[in-house]
Amino acid sequence: MTDLIFHIGLPKCGSSTLQRSVFRHEDGYLGTEPDIAPELNMAKQLQKCAPFAGRQTINRKGLRGWADCVRSIKQERWPNIDRLILSNEMLSSASRLSERPMIKVLSLLRQRFWTEGDIKVVLVLRNQAARLASSYAQGAGFRLKPGQADFERSVERSLNSRRHLRLFDYSRWIEGLESVAGPENFCVLLLEESRTVEFWQQLAGFCRLERSEPETMILPNTSKKNVRSRSADRWSISEFDPAVRAKVMVDKWLNAFWPTRLQSGLRDQLRQKTIAQLETRYRRKAEQIPDGRRETEFHLSPQVMETVRARCGSFNARLGEQLGRDLEPLGY
C-alpha cells in the first residue's frame, strides 16, 4: 500500500513554508521546491495533463502515464515507503470550466489510476480578507499606482465578481473532498493557527512525517520567505518591476488561449518577443510617475475586514459547522 498525499494550497496560505521547511526534508516528497529537478516534481508535472495553467480538460491517457511515472520513481528511490507527498498550490486553482477541477482529478486517480493506496489531501485555509491583502501585496510590484485606495478598489472588484466570490466559499472544498476521498482522508488546517504546536502536530500526523519537529516551527526565527507583512494588518509594497508586469500579462493571455502543448516552440518565441515589447512599454510608463507618488504600504482596515466578512458570512458559517468550531475569532 502506498498513499498519495496532495497538499494543494490554497494560495497565500503558507505553501512555501510547508514546502521549504517541512516537506523537502522528507523521503517520498515529489515537489514543489526549488532544489527538486523538474522531472521529479510530479506535482508540477500533473499540470500537464490536468485543468491547470491554461489547460481546460483532463488528458486521461496523460494522467495514467503520470501515475505510472510516480510508481517508477517510487520504486527506484523509495521502494519501502508507504506514502508519497506532492505539494503545489496551483492544484487548487480554477479553470474556465470548473471552479475546483482538482476534485475531478482526485476522483479519477482514486477510481482508476491509483488503486494501490489511498488518495489523501491537505488543504490550508486563511480568512478571506487576509488572503486578499496578501495577494495584493504579492502583485503590487507590477502595479503602476498601488496603494491603499487601489487595494480597496481591488477588494471591491473581487467581492462584486460572482465567480471570484464563489471561490472564497471554502465549504465547497470540504464537500468535494469529503465526497471524493472520504472524511478520514483529508486534513483541513487554518493558517491563523500556524503559530501553535497543534497545527504542526496535526500536519505531521496526517502526512506521517518522519523528520518534522513541530516545536521548532513556531519559533520566531522560523524561515518564512515571501512574507511581505509588516504587522498583523499592514503589508509592504515592492518597487515596480516592468519585467514581472510584462511576464504576468503575457502569461495570463497565452495560458487562456494557447495551451503549452500546441506548437510549443512557436509559442515560446511569441512569448519572449511579446514580454520584451511590453517590458519596454511598462518601463516608459513607470518613468512618467512623479517621485513620491508610489505608496510604500497599505493596511487591512477594520472597515475592509468587516466588508469581506459580511460578504463571506454565509460561507464561513457553513464552514464552521463542517469543522465543528467557531471561526469568527480567527477573522472568518
322 vs 134: CA distance, rounded Å: 26
Indicate the angle between helix axes 242-257 and 264-287, nearest 10 degrees. 140
Calculate the CA 330 to chain-centre distance.
20
φ and ψ of 270, to 5 deg: -65, -40
Predicted model pTM: 0.88
> pLDDT per residue over 211-251, tens digit each?
988 888 875 544 445 566 767 789 998 888 888 889 888 98
> pLDDT per residue over 152-190, tens digit each?
999 999 999 999 999 999 999 999 999 999 999 999 999
The H or E element containing residue 135 is helix 128-139
Check residue 223 and give its pLDDT: 47
Amino acid sitting at position 19: Q
Check residue 227 and give its pLDDT: 60
Give the position of cell 464552521: 320
Calculate the CA 260 to chain-centre distance.
20
Residues in the chain: 332
323 vs 171: CA distance, rounded Å: 9
| Assigned CATH for 1-125+182-219 | 3.40.50
Domains of the chain by residue range:
1-125+182-219, 242-287
Calculate the CA 39 to chain-centre distance.
20
Give the position of cell 496523460: 62
Strand duo 3-7 + 119-125: pairing: parallel
